[in-house]
Structure 1
């Protein structure tokens, strides 16, 4: 019926994991629902901070942030809410199907990766979400070793879209007085709107009132990505994802008013190690990591991303004047229903359900 389903087979085709989508949207106040032997499925949010090779020498290369496990066979009596996707899958697999769903809490981070360097190999560091189905011989046995042939797994993503309402942008101003001058340089910067989409030009208005006897030699505009990695401790990394210098001068006792357009893009930052990017599936295209939205009252672990725009004035024989503005950079929520595409701004499908087929 035109429905896209992700399907993974393991256990000599005796167990199959069906997913209607691999992207699950974090709406800040809620997260989309993920849908004598025993069959379990678990969903894990983890932070990967090293290569798989480290596991060979006994070092842990990932830390689980959140895990939830459910028993899907034998049935426990709990059934997920029926959706069009779930009903379609039930018709396809019949009585062998075991439907299930997960509800992720709102304080989990989104899927974000740290861009590796040119000489780095293996999986990138970052936050990922994994759905794993496996067959166990014992009920709720933590010590049982599960054979790989009795397991299938699939990486999914948790993503956020920009809110539907877009408010007027922030404004900031500063005045700075220099030696040998009685009056200051006044700098004001403002963004046209609060939220910008990846790939769209950012419009910023800059106003300068130079009441000094000095000349403003040039103007520098930069966009800084701030990545906060919150695990055992909180570490913050700041990297410029856009920088431009404009050789426009503002003479003594004069004013200046101009709107600048600029666009921070991942394609211009491919060589920068440690840039945060939106989580990707296999080798598909991605973009700079979106701003992380949160409710503010819940502690969040993992990777939290924010942006700020800086405007620097370089004053002759005087130093500089700097002002900063917060920037929200996100993907727009798709209008209506759509299929998952490689375009970051439309990386979502319409509906989803999770389904397990068993035949043992």
Structure 2
């Protein structure tokens, strides 16, 4: 009899082995207009169930403090919403348990909690090339800066990003240095809104642009987690056990005017700064550096479906 490829199944059982949850996948895609349905199988010992019912909940929770800080009945975790049929971060989990009613206290011995992820992938069709332009007036002359990003609007973590800088210097000033940085912005939306800003890639070049001249150059930066692991306020993608993670993908919201969105909203911008030479104390106070910011999307492409493999237990993931 020939070997047959099995179907990959995620499995997790309660401590007393009376309730078991089976899921075909743990990543569920947010398509903006809909989210993949979470479907699976619950196996319950009928003799253990008796006169009780089986409940399944889908919970989205936001943790804004370490678990070891949960003392005196205070929990640094807020459930954003619960659908019945549940470090700082947003997580989703499937919970199955036996009880006479859904309000009954849930015991660990007869309940199962299995973490899943809601993910977004880069659009299959690339969008328009992001570009921004600014003009700075120096008394009687102008300096014009044009910054288009090369390739496509959706860039990949750990892959080089090309920034094409065009400078038209019609002023009497001289650009003595070019600074470029990729910055991650994380808006924490819970009780109130707070924003964390963290540079994830930086570059500084001694490229000069003299008066009455033009300049064009492509700079390359690679935003990676490896060089930013120790930074505070950095948003990361959620991960399952025994998996590495990476910089958080950009958050795409269908309705940008909705002010009731809860969780962490991540965005990225490239900042280009031209350092201007200054002459004298008074001119140094009047002549400010020229800077411009360009938003862009940092996301993963939709992965190719993995080949079929043997079932895996949820405790191993």
Q: State the TM-score, normalized to the length of structure 1.
A: 0.75
1:173 aligns with 133
2:112 aligns with 152
Deviation at 1:55, TM superposition (A): 2.7
Q: Runs of at least 4 residues of structure 1 off by over 4 A?
A: none
Q: What are the ranges of 5 or more consecutive residues in structure 2 without an aligned counterpart? A: 40-50, 279-286, 310-317
Deviation at 1:139, TM superposition (A): 3.0
2:295 aligns with 326
- Note the 1:139-288 alignment, pairs <5 A: 139-140=101-102, 142=103, 144-179=104-139, 182-192=140-150, 193-288=152-247
Q: Which of 114, 122, 126 pairs up with 2:89?
A: 126
Deviation at 1:232, TM superposition (A): 1.3
Q: Which of 82, 90, 95 pairs up with 1:67?
A: 82
Q: Which of 282, 286, 306 pairs up with 1:338?
A: 306
Deviation at 1:18, TM superposition (A): 1.1
Deviation at 1:178, TM superposition (A): 2.4
How many residues are aligned here?
284
For 1:66 and 1:177, the matched residues in 2 are separated by 51
Q: What are the ranges of 5 or more consecutive residues in structure 1 without an aligned counterpart? A: 71-101, 103-123, 340-348, 351-360
For 2:15 and 2:222, the matched residues in 1 are separated by 48
Q: Does 1:300 align with 2:264?
A: no
- Note the 1:13-162 alignment, pairs <5 A: 13-35=17-39, 36-70=51-85, 124-136=87-99, 138-140=100-102, 142=103, 144-162=104-122
Partner-residue secondary structure (3-state), 1:57: coil
8 Å Cα contact 1:169/1:195 also seen in 2: no
For 1:146 and 1:129, the matched residues in 2 are separated by 18
RMSD of aligned residue pairs (Cα, Å): 1.9
8 Å Cα contact 1:126/1:303 also seen in 2: yes
2:274 aligns with 313
Q: Which of 1 and 2 has higher RCO (CA within 8 Å, sep 6+)?
A: 1
